[in-house]
């Protein structure tokens, strides 16, 4: 009887322990997958943002001005590098050569004229000799004036009045200073070596007075416009004689 009672109690204890072990809750640790999912990873974008490219408009080609034959012109800027401007910085030879370069570039790129220019600082007698050897159809000298006056003028010979007037008229379109007119430099109004000794129709323009502030500033600030006016004058002249 005791043996049966002992065996029953022992069985009951074993059964209770097993149930208690099975009912113990497991610890709630997150799984490896849940740990990975809970982390937010931000990667730097390697995509280059698009940049809007500017639209480049095609420039129309400059139409060449063609004459019936290859006329020749000689350009002779001043070589008076000691003639100072009123600012004591610039001088006549320097500025007139800069304008001559701008003029020559347009004549060579936009017309079929044959162009020769004294851009090497030849003396007056040397440039006159070079011009006569070249035998141009027109000779154009570029100067600025001095002496305290105002305005523009052009010096010509008997056979170059038309050429000189065209050049002066075109230049006078771009400024409001006094028009001093067309003058003869062959000994009639004055005697200018270049006008007397060049064989071709020649014009020597004195654009404005570089020893007066307003006129000097106009020259220095409008070199391209001055060259453009000379370009128009030369083209107009050769269109008349063509």
Give residue-wise pLDDT tens across range 15-48.
445 444 444 444 444 444 444 444 444 344 445 4
pLDDT at 3 over 70: no
| Residue 232 near residue 170 (C-beta atoms within 8 A) | yes
pLDDT at 118 over 80: yes
Q: How high is the pLDDT of residue 143?
A: 99
CA distances from 204 to 60, 106, 216 (A): 35, 20, 19
Q: How high is the pLDDT of residue 55?
A: 56
Q: How high is the pLDDT of residue 53?
A: 52
Tens-digit pLDDT profile for residues 66-90: 999 999 999 999 999 999 999 999 9
Mean pLDDT on 228-237: 99
| Residue 167 near residue 233 (C-beta atoms within 8 A) | yes
| Residue 142 near residue 80 (C-beta atoms within 8 A) | no
pLDDT at 9 over 60: no
Mean pLDDT on 106-111: 98
Tens-digit pLDDT profile for residues 159-207: 999 999 999 999 999 999 999 999 999 999 999 999 999 999 999 999 9
The pTM for the full model equals 0.76
Q: Where are the beta strands (DSSP E) in 72-146?
A: 72-77, 114-117, 138-145
Q: Which of 49, 92, 94 is nearest to 215 (CA)?
A: 92
Tokens of 241: 């004689």
Residue with tokens 């010509």: 156
Rounded to the nearest integer, the mean pLDDT of the chain is 85
Domain map (residue ranges) of the chain: 72-241
Tokens of 47: 């995509």
pLDDT bin (cut points 50, 70, 90) of residue 63 is confident
Q: Which of 71, 90, 74, 72 is nearest to 204 (CA)?
A: 74
The residue among 47 and 127 whose pLDDT is bigger is: 127
CATH of 72-241, picked from 3.40.630.40, 3.40.50.720, 3.30.390.30, 3.90.1170.50, is 3.40.630.40
């Amino acid at each position: 009887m005791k043996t049966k009672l002992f065996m029953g109690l022992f069985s009951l204890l074993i059964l209770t322990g097993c149930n208690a072990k099975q009912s113990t809750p497991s610890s709630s640790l997150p799984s490896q997958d849940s740990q990975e999912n809970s982390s937010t990873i931000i990667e730097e974008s390697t995509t280059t943002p698009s940049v809007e490219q500017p639209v480049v408009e095609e420039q129309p080609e400059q139409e060449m001005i063609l004459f019936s034959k290859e006329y020749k012109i000689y350009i002779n800027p001043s070589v008076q590098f000691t003639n100072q401007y009123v600012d004591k910085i610039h001088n006549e030879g320097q500025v007139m050569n800069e304008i001559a370069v701008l003029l020559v570039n347009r004549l060579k790129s936009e017309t079929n004229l044959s162009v020769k220019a004294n851009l090497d600082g030849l003396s007056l007698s040397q440039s006159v000799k070079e011009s006569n050897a070249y035998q141009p159809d027109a000779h154009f000298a570029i100067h600025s004036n001095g002496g305290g006056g105002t305005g523009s003028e052009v010096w010509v010979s008997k056979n170059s009045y038309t050429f000189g007037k065209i050049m002066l008229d075109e230049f006078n379109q771009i400024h409001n200073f006094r028009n001093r007119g067309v003058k003869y430099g062959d000994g009639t109004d004055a005697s200018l070596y270049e006008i007397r000794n060049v064989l071709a129709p020649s014009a020597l323009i004195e654009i404005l007075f570089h020893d007066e502030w307003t006129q000097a500033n106009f020259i220095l600030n409008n070199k391209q416009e001055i060259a453009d006016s000379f370009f128009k004058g030369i083209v107009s002249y050769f269109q008349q004689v063509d």
